[in-house]
Each structure stands twice: as C-alpha cells, then as structure tokens.
Amino acid sequence: MPSNTTAPPGKKTAKKKGRRARLLLLVLVLALVAGIGFGGYWGVSTVRASFPQTTGEIRLDRLSADVEVKRDANGIPQIYADDEADLFRAQGYVQAQDRFYEMDVRRHVTAGRLSEMFGESQVDTDAFLRTLGWRRVAQEEYDKVLSPETKKYLQAYAEGVNAYLKDRAPKDVSVEYAALALTNDYTIEPWTPVDSVAWLKAMAWDLRGNMQDEIDRSLMTSRLSAKQIKQLYPEYPYALHQPIVDKGAVDESTGAFDPKADATEGDGTTTGDTPGTGPGGSGGVSSQLGALSEVLDTVPALLGPNGNGIGSNSWVVSGRLTTSGKPLLANDPHLAPQLPSLWYQMGLHCRSVSATCRYDVAGYTFSGMPGVIIGHNDKIAWGLTNLGADVTDLYLEKIGPDGYLVDGKVKPFTSREETIKVAGGEDRKITVRSTGHGPLVSDRSSELETVGQKAPVGNAAPDRGTGYGVSLQWTALQPGKSMDAIFALDRAKDFTTFRAAAKNFEVPSQNLIYADTEGNIGYQSPGKIPQRTKGDGTLPAPGWDSSYKWKSYIPFEKLPYEENPKRGYIVTANQAVIDEKTYPDLLTKDWGYGSRSQRINDLIESKTKDGGKISPDDMRTMQTDNRSEIATLLNPLLLKIDISDPSVREAQKLLEGWDYTQEPDSAAAAYFNAVWRNVLKLAFGNKLPKELRAEGDCINVRPAEATGPVDEQNKLVRECGERDPDSAQPDGGDRWYEVVRPLLKQEKSEWWVTPGNRLDAPTETRDQLLAQAMKDARWELTAKLGKDVSTWSWGRLHQLTLKNQTLGTAGPGVVQKLLNRGPWNLGGGEAAVDATGWNAAGGYDVIWVPSMRMVVNVGDWDKSRWVNLTGASGHAFHSNYTDQTDAWAKGELYDWVYSKAAVEAAVKDTLVLKP
C-alpha cells in the first residue's frame, strides 16, 4: 500500500463473508455508476447528478451582489465579484462543486477522523493524528491568532461550501459517497473555517524537514559506526553546488540580514554544539525509533512519501536577461502524484480593484482553502519551494507513572482523552500525553511501551527503569499566522509588501521567489525556525536535560533574502540557502544536495553567455531537462569495465555514446538506472539495518550483537526489510550522489566489499562491485522488459499511475480500474530537473512528480503558461478529470488567461451566482 494513501479501507475483519458481500455490492454499484453493463442508463444519470452546474443562474445565500464564474474548456474558473467576502464565498462554492469529496477526506485526515468514513482500519492512523493534534492547533489559531479580516474570509468561504451542500444528498455530491453508503451511514457535515486552517498543518507535516533523517541516523547505529554514518550524510558540497544566496551577512549592529554586506567566513560553527551529538542510537532506542518509523509510514502523506524526496524547482530571471525585457518566473513543486491533483487552478478578480475590493489574482489554490497559494496578481508574481528547515526535534523522555524527568525532577504530563468514532464499530478512547517538548508519540504503538535495555546514553542519563519514551517538538504544533500570509501575498504590490506578507508565513518554511512589473526580482526565506541552546537536531535529544531545549526562533529580520542580485537570476531547488560558514544560525544540517539547482544555474548561464537571452519557451524547456548527474560520474567507469558475459556486454553497449538524458524511449537510461539501483543495493543497502530496507528485501546477515567469527553458535540469520518501499533507503537521491562521488575515486573501500551469496561472487574492489551491479541489472531488466535489449525503454520501467486517493489505492481491482488513470511512460528521474522521482530501494515506479508547472511572463500576463497534473474536476468520469495529464507528461503548457479580454475569449461556460 503506497505511503501516500489517504484512506485505505480494507483491513481484515472477523466477518469475512459480510465484508466480501459488501465489496461485491461496492463493485456492482461502481460498475453501474460508470455506466457499464446492466443499468448503463442509470449509471450515466447518476454520474452526471454530481457534475457541477456551470451555466445559467444559481441563488446563493449571503451574497451582496451578482458573482460571475467563467470557465474555459479545461474547466478552470475565473471568478468576478464586487466584494471581497463575495469573492471567497464564491470560491468555496465553486471548489465544492468540483472537489468536495477530496476536501471532505482531507478534513477527516487533519482531524484524525478517517475511521468515521472508512472504519476500523484507520483507528491507528487516527490515534497518531489525534496525538499530534493538528485540528486542535488549527482551532486555537482561528480563535486566538488570525486577524479578523482573515476570519471573515474563512467564514465566507465556508458559507460558500455549505451553500453548495445544502439540500444535496451525498450521492449527488460525488460518486464515492454512493459507494461509501453501502458500508457506512456516513453523513456530510457542514464545512467550518477551522477545516480550512487545519489543511496548513497537513501541508507542514509533509514538508517538516529532517525528522526521518533524524530517525534513520539513529537506526543506523545498530549496524554502522559513527564514521560510516557520517559518510552516508556528507556535508553540503558548496564548492560544486552554489547556495540560493551567495552574498550577504548578518549585520552585528542591527541583528538583521544585509544582502549587500560582504560575508566573512566564521569558525564553521552555528547555534548548537557538535554535529551528531545526542543520545539516540542502538538497542532499545533503535527499536523505539524503528517502530516510530513504521507508525510514520501509516500516516497519510498528502504531499509525498513521508516527506522524503519532496522538493520543488523555482527560478526567476531578470528582464535584462530575457527576450521580453521583463522578468520570467518558473515554478514546479514536486509532490506525490494524486487524483485529483493537489492543485486547483483559478482566478479571483474584483471587477474594480479598490480599497474595499483589493484582489485581482490568479494561480494555484488548495481545494478547501480560500486564496491563491502560488501565482500572480496585477503587480507581482511569486513561487514556492520547500526550504527544508529543521523544525522538528525528537526527544527521549525518561517517563514513569507520574510524569517525566527534567533536571532530576518529575514533571506531570499534560493529558487529554480523545474519542475515535468508528464506522461500523465501537468507539475507541485514547489518552494523549505530552511533555514540555510536545506530544508523546511513542504512546501510539504497543512496540514503544518499553524501550529495552541498551539505549546508548551517557553516564549522566537517568536510570533506564522501564525505558524511555519519544516526544516530538514541532513548530506547527504552535498557533501561527500562515493563513494571514496567504491573503497578504495575494494582494502584495511590491517587494516591501511581499516581505511583510512573508513574515507571517511561519509554517511550513518555504523559499519564496518574487518578480514585479517594475522589473525587480527577489527572494525571501521565511518561517519559524528554532534556535537550539544545545544540539544540532540531527539525532534525538535527551529530554531530561533542559540544556537541550529550544531557546527561541530566528528573527525574521535575520533570515536571508536578496533583491536584484548582480548575476540577474535566482534559483531555488531545495539546495542550501546560504553557506553555513558565513551565517550564524543553524537552518538545517540536512539540505537537498543541489543537483537540480546547479543544473538550472548552469542552463541559465549557458543560455545567457555572450549576450544570449532567455525566452518563455526556454524556461519551459529547462523545466523538462532530464539529464542525470550521477550518470556523468558513473557511466565513464562502467564503460571501462571488462565484461566477458556476452549478454551483459550487450547491455553495456547501450551506454556507449549516451548523452545522459533520460527520455521515455531511452534504453540506455533504463539500463543505467538499473545499474545505479544495484550499485546502491550492493554497496550500501545490504549493510543497512532492516528498519531502513524495503519490505521484501531479505538478506543473510550477521546478528547485530554477534562477535567473533561466524560459527554454529553465531551464524548468519535471514533478515527482511521492514520499511514501505516509497521511503526505504538507499533511495538514490542526490545525497547518495555525494556519498558515491568520493568513493568512485577509490579502487578500494570498505563500501565496495560484499560477502557474496549463492547467486553472486564476493567483491573487494570498486570495479568488481560495478561489474556485479551491471550483471544484476542485466538480468533484472531481462525479467522486467525482456531479453532483447533493443526493446528496452526507460518509460516502460518508469511509469506513473494516477490513483484516486481512497478507493483507487486499496479498493478491489475493478474499482481501481474505474477510478484510476494510466499508466503513463515517463522520462526524467530522481534529482533531475524533470523530477519524476523513484526510490531505488523500492523500484522504478514514479512516486513524486512536478505536480504542476508554470512559466509567468511578468507584466504581459496573458502570455504566461501553465499546466496541472490532472484536471480541474474531482469527478471520476468528468471530461476535466485528467484532461491536462497528456500535455503535462509531454512537458507542454496551456495558455494562462488573466485579463478580462483574454478570459472572455477563452470562456466556454458562464455561471451567475445571485443573492
């Protein structure tokens, strides 16, 4: 089951016969709904009952005047109103028309109420989500923090959603409810403003930073030395991959970042102590963290596979380097493939922009949340990528029946009881306990009740007793103002107001790029980022020692930014923001390693050298660049290997003359990526503990506690991986490029040594291991693609299937065929600019994608272009369900109309909402 499954109904129950009967009924209903077989006419009418009305007139309560909704052939709406509240009220109505089922599932995720829709199989997931308390924090945010203006917009949006739901039976809202009714007497509840706010918590969870790395480093201690672990997490390669901001420093007199100041190299230290310090490690702590990792795999990852690999590309080019003479801005966030897409395209326009109606904005929105997240208004354009700041820390807690230990004193837990309602079952009650750091996440697994006896902590640690718990401190568990920031971004008019809006964009921490009609470009790194008194966040910290607490947050004025840099462009693709040697605060130790960002930098430089100019089509072409950086390093060595097996030699020949591009029809790309996958498995994967390896990956290993030679009393044991394949290691991303880069220069290394087994020979050198990987890859692809290498292609291995996020991921096969779409054979790859991500430990299937693409022609807005992964509609048989996917797969873009004249020229349907 994919880790980004939102609601997988289908856990085994004792009543197998009843369950089987319900599934048969489910299949029958969905077959009828799809209009196939007996009852086809009824099926068509049922489907169309949930399709939105897009023409004519509809009465809508609370409107102050008429609102027009104009849709083009792709179903993308442009909304025109005279009042701000009316604008967001209409946005709620229209998004509910197209996407309410998606919105409803999302709010059940954020509230930890999936069991109410999908039954007992979701109880454990709900328990973990209740422990995190997203919905509770969102409620506090709405009650105490957000501005009255933002609350007004949220309330208006909720009124619009509820106006759509009024007097509609669930089956008339979406066909999934017709299926759900067979096993559940589920009733749709009214939408609330807090439902919208809570979605930001889910977004922040999936973009939370290095929490998985923190767990993984600790788990590795059961098999690897500290030196080996450090090799697997190398320093960011500043000499090879330039950071976002290459100048500037914090002014010591003001404490603010000055982008024009000359940076001076410090002593290489930042807030916190020695990298990697902390008590996390093997034995009991490892068993706890392994179990925690399993729990994390079950949490719905709405944006990507548990935060791993989630990235994005964005860049902006100054008008002096473009054919238009105005800035060009590109953005393509890399998220989990979903059906419908995470994004919903629309325009929100005041008919006459004034002090009382200030919005004239278009771009990408989230269904269920008012405003535009990424896009442009009449003055500025902006894009987002994940900054990756370390905003989570795990703490080991010495717990007892009365509380937890801090500086030798027992403090009482903060506790609350939660009731989980279960469709078709009895209510479940859980107790959520929190320490001063945050919720005790270890309470959510029976495996975590006792730590064990070998936690590697120092002599100053408290007595083990019954063990240690694990708590989570995370910035998103505190009320914030990110919702205020969304509306402020939508109406910003210059870099000053843009930065003022960014100040409140607290979680998730994002890279913000900017361009305006005056020709300015800029960048801002916002976010609530902790300053640690001690420790660097790379390993779990000792909760019993108050010196490891967070002391404060980096002031916004101190965060790096730049405006109109001399180089004429800004690139953000999850690389380091700024060189840590010149910046005094710790942002993270776990950046993306900069392969994509440097490739974009190089493409811009090559295009603009000798006075060249960049066109909008050049920006689109850059977005689809699929060159493999690891191939440039590894392929020359592969070609030098003396291969005697004629079948393997036949495959090796594919790599001769290959230009390192990963087109869908490329046999060379297919074979190279298979070799890379097998190099990683042989050199690293087989040496990692089972908690990191993929499920089904079984090897013979020496027990972790074994000493001395292998003998009858100390023999090898069969050990199988335990992690979801989408989040297993080694994943093959650009961190692994930097792990391998120095090793490729060494003929001998402990990493090249493998013991061998019945199928392969032991290896001792680099070339021996590469030869074995080439052999393994040849036979792996023979099994997958056939013996004839001339028929191989990367796209046949590297496929995308779009799955409905509930019944399409875990329902019966017939149901999945009705609701899902694909597969598409894709090019691109892991850490390429065209980042169709795959996990080398788990296979070749596409698990994250450029979830949308846009190229904004600043100032000449109607010449901007965009595309969505799927389409505007969330209705499975609507013509706009996946109507953009073929164009997306080919790297094509659609016209993005904005001006009233361009919108009118593109209009297919007009709906008038009347008071």
- Least trusted range by pLDDT, from 119-123, 438-442, 716-720, 815-819: 815-819
- Start-to-end CA span in the chain (Å): 46
Q: Which residue has the higher pLDDT, 19 or 583?
A: 583
Rounded Cα gap, residues 885 and 870, in angstroms: 5
In the three-class reduction of DSSP (H, G, I as helix; E, B as strand; rest coil), residue 43 is classed as: helix
Taking only the tens place, the pLDDT of each residue in 872-903 is 999 988 999 999 999 999 999 999 999 999 99
Kind of pairing between the strands at 374-376 and 414-420: unpaired
* Helix ranges (DSSP H) in 524-611: 595-608
Rounded Cα gap, residues 867 and 854, in angstroms: 7
Alpha-carbon distances, residue 853 vs 244, 311, 416 (angstroms): 21, 13, 44
User: Percent of the chain having pLDDT more than 70?
Assistant: 84
- Least trusted range by pLDDT, from 140-144, 209-213, 524-528, 761-765: 209-213
Rounded Cα gap, residues 152 and 40, in angstroms: 45
Alpha-carbon distances, residue 40 vs 26, 37, 45, 50, 763 (angstroms): 16, 6, 9, 16, 62
Q: What is the pTM of this model?
A: 0.92
- DSSP letter at 499 equals H
**Residue 445: predicted pLDDT:** 62
Taking only the tens place, the pLDDT of each residue in 271-292 is 444 334 454 443 445 555 666 6
pLDDT band at 454 (very low <50, low <70, confident <90, very high): very low
In the three-class reduction of DSSP (H, G, I as helix; E, B as strand; rest coil), residue 731 is classed as: coil
CB burial of 363-385 (b: ≥16 within 10 Å; e: otherwise) equals bbbbbbbbbbbbbbbbbbbbbbb
The angle at the Cα of 161, spanning 155 to 162, to the nearest 5 degrees, equals 90
**Residue 298: predicted pLDDT:** 59
**Residue 275: predicted pLDDT:** 36
pLDDT at 296 over 80: no
Taking only the tens place, the pLDDT of each residue in 69-95 is 999 999 999 999 999 999 999 999 999
Helices 283-298 & 123-132 angle (0-180, nearest 10): 110
Rounded Cα gap, residues 472 and 218, in angstroms: 15
- Least trusted range by pLDDT, from 481-495, 669-683, 801-815: 801-815
Tokens representing residue 748 in the block: 């001998």
**Residue 714: predicted pLDDT:** 56
